[in-house]
């Protein structure tokens, strides 16, 4: 019989390391799906988690310039929420310097750069997001709470 | 799933309906963009993108969809999306995409939105 959330024998954490290679974010979403299903998250919560995780992985893939070319992901299962930590040991960035994307400017062509949505989407799809970044790398900690109206 | 993206086109009067199937990443987005560009170059100005068979998208794919919206607007046309999962619809809402493209549940509703 599988242990369930809230029981003493609940496995608390799942760790995953993915190489920085094209489409490896999909491997991370498959683990996220399994963990979130185990925690009995509903379909919408699982999909939101997966899409936020894709964006966090892509950010690391494209911007970290990590020397070890890896992204480290931890899924921490708590009774009330799932915390996902995405870490790289790359060059880091200043979140305060990331411009807020303006869709009007992008659609009109005023802004020729159509990208830059990752952080906005992560924040919009998760319940809370913390970013710590510096010369040693970047750690994004994002949390999805259990849907109180859903299965517990 | 990753490398098996497909996009097919069906005509419905003066509207072209693009049916996507698979992960809308850079590859998927580029395939949508290629089809849309060819349609626009051929004189089509009304596009529907039916994503019923695309349940996962990323911001690279979305950026190419923004380029498609830009090109449709340049020719005075219009674009609508349908068949979105709740999460993809939420993603588009977060970005404000509904200001520039109609979002409808069904293909028939999306086509009607362009009439």
Which residues of chain B neighbour A29 with C-beta distances below 8 Å?
A: 56
Q: How far apart are CA A24 and CA A88, in angstroms?
A: 14
- Is the separation of the CB atoms in A146 and A41 below 8 Å? yes
Report how many helices (DSSP H) and strands (DSSP E) chain B contains, helices first. Answer: 4, 5
Q: Give pLDDT tens digits for B76-106.
A: 999 999 999 999 999 999 999 999 999 999 9
Question: Does B97 contact A at CB distance below 8 Å?
Answer: yes
Give how far A7 is from chain B: nearest CA, Å. Answer: 30
pLDDT value of position A146: 87
- In chain A, the domains with their CATH numbers are 13-145 (3.30.565.10)
Supply the ipTM of this predicted assembly. Answer: 0.92
List pLDDT tens digits, range A43-100: 999 999 999 999 999 999 999 998 899 999 999 999 999 999 999 999 999 888 888 8
Interface test with A, best of B58, B70, B97 (most A CBs within 10 A): B58
Q: Say if residue B72's pLDDT is above 70.
A: yes
For residue A152, what pLDDT is reported? 38
**In angstroms, what separates the C-alpha of B79 from chain A's closest C-alpha?**
12
The CATH number of B6-113 is 3.30.750.24
Position A151 scores a pLDDT of 42
Map out the domains of chain B as residue ranges: 6-113
């Amino acid at each position: 019989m599988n242990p369930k959330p809230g029981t003493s024998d609940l496995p608390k954490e799942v760790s995953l390391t993915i190489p920085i290679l094209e489409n490896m974010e999909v491997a991370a979403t498959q683990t996220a799906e399994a963990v979130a299903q185990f925690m009995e998250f509903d379909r919408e919560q699982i999909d939101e988690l997966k899409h936020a995780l894709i964006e966090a992985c892509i950010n690391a893939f494209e911007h970290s310039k990590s020397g070890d070319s890896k992204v480290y992901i931890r899924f921490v299962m708590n009774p009330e929420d799932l915390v996902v930590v995405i870490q790289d040991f790359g060059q880091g960035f200043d979140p305060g310097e990331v411009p807020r994307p303006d869709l009007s400017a992008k659609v009109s062509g005023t802004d020729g750069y159509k990208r830059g949505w990752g952080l906005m989407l992560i924040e919009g799809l998760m319940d809370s997001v913390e970013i710590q970044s510096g010369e040693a790398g970047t750690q994004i900690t994002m949390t999805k709470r259990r849907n109180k109206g859903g299965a517990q | 799933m990753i490398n098996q993206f497909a996009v097919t086109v069906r005509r419905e009067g003066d509207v072209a309906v693009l049916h996507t199937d698979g992960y809308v990443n850079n590859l998927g987005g580029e395939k949508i963009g290629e089809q849309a560009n060819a349609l626009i170059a051929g004189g089509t100005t009304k596009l529907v993108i039916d994503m019923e068979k695309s349940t996962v998208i990323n911001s690279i794919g979305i950026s190419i969809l923004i380029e498609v919206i830009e090109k449709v607007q340049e020719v005075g046309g219009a674009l609508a999306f349908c068949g979105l999962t709740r999460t993809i619809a939420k993603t588009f809402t977060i970005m404000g995409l509904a200001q520039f493209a109609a979002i409808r549940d069904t293909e028939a509703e999306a086509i009607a939105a362009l009439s």
